[in-house]
Amino acid sequence: MVNRYENNSRKKARIFNIQKYNMYDGPGIRTMIFFKGCPLGCKWCSNPEGLKQGFQIMLKEDTCRGCGACAKVCPVGIHKISATGKHIIDRSLECIGCKKCTEVCLEDGFVIVGEDASQEELLEKIEEDEAFYRMSEGGVTLGGGEVLMQPEFAKDLLESCKNEGIHTAIETSGYAREEDLLALAKHVDLFLYDIKHMDSAKHYEFTGVKNDLILKNVACLLEQGYQVKVRMPILKGVNDQKKDITKAMEFLYPYRNKTNFLGVDLLPYHRMGVQKYKQLDMTYEMQGDFKLPEKALKEIEKWIKDWDMSVQIIQH
């Protein structure tokens, strides 16, 4: 049997989760692979453990009993126990991902986030559910974090999936070099492409980057015939006003009749993942009520339909 992994066996990607039986990120039943690292810093991000590319420790204060076993084996000295028996993570130090601490922890008091996986390892995970893909017309979706921060590995993995007849999708902010995006695009059946705000200054305020490159890249994909579904996170008082939606529709209107433009998904704000910020010693900045009532979401849906575009509300 030919070893189809031969040329890629030494390459690895830094990931932080593999989610099976995903029904939200592309058609059918999917395996979603979350790549670690993101160039954006969205204030509402529900996967804060995916923002940094390095290994991280998520401390579960409710289960940790401060025994200090982890501190004794950590080669870096990240784990510390205070005089009062409190477990402290020294965030100024860099975790090397050795996981010696998890081997001695009897209480499941923390999680090391980040795993280096080869293409062979990921393909084996993906192929475990091929029967479900065929039955449901599903496949694999690469997300994050931001998959385009590890473009070469992602391109090779997507190509291998395509060679096996597996439908491929990526969920992306589009904030990447055009050449990296187009190199992946050859092996992508569907782009789930985020447009978070049309005002560049507001985009910077809430994500840490301007939107010029993002809009340029999505236009490039649409003009070159790649399948794109636009995703718009919707937050009350941030990007839910009619003028905000109008600007987005004006931008997308020239592509509305292209068969490769598959319409818009509205992603209502939710607070899933907030607890993870505390476990990472991070501050969740979206303090307040940003969730829109169903009536307001339906109104936004109608505004988009008035532009002769397909739209659906995706509730998690």
Compute the average pLDDT of residues 137-159.
97
**Does an H or E element contain 80, and which?**
strand 79-81
Q: 288 near 235, Cβ under 8 Å? A: no
The reported pLDDT for the residue numbered 36 is 98
The reported pLDDT for the residue numbered 11 is 87
Residue 1 lies in a domain: no
The reported pLDDT for the residue numbered 89 is 96
Per residue in 289-311, pLDDT tens? Answer: 999 999 999 999 999 999 999 99
Residue 139 lies in a domain: yes
Check pLDDT > 90 for residue 224: yes
Per residue in 31-44, pLDDT tens? Answer: 999 999 999 999 99
Same domain flag for 67 and 47: no
Nearest CA to 50 out of 117, 113, 116, 126 is that of 113
Same domain flag for 21 and 64: no
Nearest CA to 57 out of 65, 49, 47, 69 is that of 49
Same domain flag for 261 and 122: yes
Same domain flag for 213 and 299: yes
Asked whether the CA dihedral 20, 21, 23, 29 is positive or negative, the reply is positive
Distance CA 137, CA 166 (A): 9
The reported pLDDT for the residue numbered 237 is 97
Helix axes 294-305, 242-252, angle to 10 degrees: 30
**Residue 165, class by beta-carbon neighbours within 10 Å (0-12 exposed, 13-18 middle, 19+ buried)?**
exposed
Number of domains in the chain: 2
Same domain flag for 94 and 196: no
Q: Tell me 63's DSSP state.
A: T
Same domain flag for 64 and 142: no
Distance CA 51, CA 207 (A): 12
CATH number at residue 84: 3.30.70.20
Same domain flag for 140 and 100: no
Amino acid found at 90? D
Residue 208 lies in a domain: yes
The reported pLDDT for the residue numbered 7 is 39
Confidence band, pLDDT 50/70/90 cuts, at residue 4? very low
CATH number at residue 28: 3.20.20.70
Per residue in 161-191, pLDDT tens? Answer: 999 999 999 999 999 999 999 999 999 999 9
Choose one of 112, 144, 159: the last residue of a domain: 112
Residue 222 lies in a domain: yes
Q: Which residue has the tokens 């969920």?
A: 171
Same domain flag for 14 and 32: yes
Domain that holds residue 16: 6-52+115-313
Same domain flag for 89 and 46: no
Nearest CA to 144 out of 170, 126, 119, 175 is that of 170
